[in-house]
Amino acid sequence: MSILIIGGSKGIGKACTEELLASGKEVLVASRTNDEISHLPVEHIELDVLENPGALEGMFDELEGLIYCPGSINLKPFHRLKTQDFQDDFQINVLSAINCIQAVLPALKAGKGSIVLFSTVAVQQGMAFHASVAASKGAIEGLARSLAAEYAPDIRCNVIAPSLTDTPLAASLLSNEKKQEANAERHPLKSIGQPEDVAALAAHLVSETGRWISGQVFGVDGGMSRLR
């Protein structure tokens, strides 16, 4: 059986791909590009979740896991956020995830699969300029708990809520040494996250080792959401 990683080609998703391959799993990656993972032994499915998320329907008989990685960091003062910003963030973070989950639901049921979705530290810890992304990611947390309840005991569903992690998505926030140091300093553990830090938990949650965990939201955030 395979684990499908939507957005497994870059950033946290790529680290999940590498981590799961290293533990001997069969990995399928669906994303727009595959340049960064073309050397890895994975099957790549070309997919833009904004264009055609239903493309995954009927493609798999059984799935052991689904990790959905596409997301956004759209930081603006609330008064400058347009309805379109909220709609765009909701589409990539929530609606496209829903479309993908529905498309592979029979395969997840057949494989008694585990779903991992991504939130952000900015849902539990209020942060200025995060209104749009936090609204969407808050919806992800509610969605995940609902799915976990509705599909137990067959399908598990959990959420990881990272703080700032060094990926292409966060590149503009970490574009020079000064920004990197200031961002590391904001965290109680005095560092920003690396994709591997987040992928390790995702791999656990989609694996047999995570078999008794469902409906949870886990902060992988350098202590940001809980420590002072």
Ligand X SMILES: NC(=O)c1ccc[n+]([C@@H]2O[C@H](COP(=O)([O-])OP(=O)(O)OC[C@H]3O[C@@H](n4cnc5c(N)ncnc54)[C@H](OP(=O)(O)O)[C@@H]3O)[C@@H](O)[C@H]2O)c1
What does DSSP assign to residue 33? -
Minimum distance of ligand X from residue 193's CB (angstroms): 7
Residue 200 binding ligand X, by CB under 6 A: no
Q: How buried is 213 (Cβ within 10 angstroms: 0-12 exposed, 13-18 middle, 19+ buried)? A: middle
Tell which residue, 31, 3, 34, has the closest CA to residue 115: 3
Among 28, 42, 56, 70, binds ligand X (CB under 6 A): 70
Task: Give the C-alpha separation, 31 to 227, whole Å.
Answer: 35
Map the footprint of ligand X across residues 78-117, applying CB under 6 A: none
Please select the residue that binds ligand X; options are 3, 20, 107, 164, rule is CB under 6 A.
164
Q: Which of 2, 4, 11, 219 binds ligand X (CB under 6 A)?
A: 11
Among positions 47, 131, 155, 224, the unique one binding ligand X when judged by CB under 6 A: 47
Pattern 141-160, binding to ligand X, x per CB under 6 A?
Answer: --------------------
Report the amino acid identity of residue 206: V
Instruction: Give Cα 200 distance to the centre of its chain.
Output: 13
Identify the residue among 114, 167, 183, 214 touching ligand X (CB under 6 A). Answer: 167
Mark 152-169 as b/e (b = at least 16 C-beta within 10 Å). Answer: eeebbbbbbbbbbbbbeb
Interacting residue with ligand X among 1, 40, 45, 50 (CB under 6 A): 50
Segment interacting with ligand X, rule: CB under 6 A, options 2-10, 103-111, 123-131, 179-187: 2-10
Which of 2, 3, 4, 9 binds ligand X (CB under 6 A)? It is 9
For 64, phi and psi rounded to 5 degrees?
Answer: -85, -25
Six token digits for residue 227:
């420590």
Number of residues lying near ligand X (CB under 6 A): 26
> Rounded to the nearest whole angstrom, what is the least distance from the CB of residue 93 to ligand X in the complex?
6
